[in-house]
């Protein structure tokens, strides 16, 4: 759970996201804009369940 929050925090700060436990992955260039909406929704669903 803490890893997910860290990933979301990094996403909001527009830094290279290091998503833990294979929750979501940015593009190979580490560009935050390449994270898909589906990946973000998956993260948000996991946060809600947490």
- The crossing angle, in degrees rounded to 10, of helices 2-12 and 37-49 is 140
**In terms of pTM, does the model score above 0.85?**
no
* Coil vs helix vs strand at 1: coil
What is the Cα gyration radius of the chain?
10
For the residues of 12-46, what is the DSSP string, one character each?
HTTS----GGGS----TT--GGGS-HHHHHHHHHH
pLDDT (tens digit per residue) in 1-50 = 566 677 677 666 654 444 544 455 544 444 555 567 777 778 788 888 76
């Amino acid at each position: 759970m803490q890893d997910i929050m860290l990933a979301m925090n990094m996403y909001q700060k527009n830094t290279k996201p290091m998503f833990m436990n294979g929750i979501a992955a940015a593009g190979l260039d580490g560009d935050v804009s390449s994270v898909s909406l589906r990946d973000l929704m998956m993260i948000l669903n996991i946060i809600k369940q947490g």
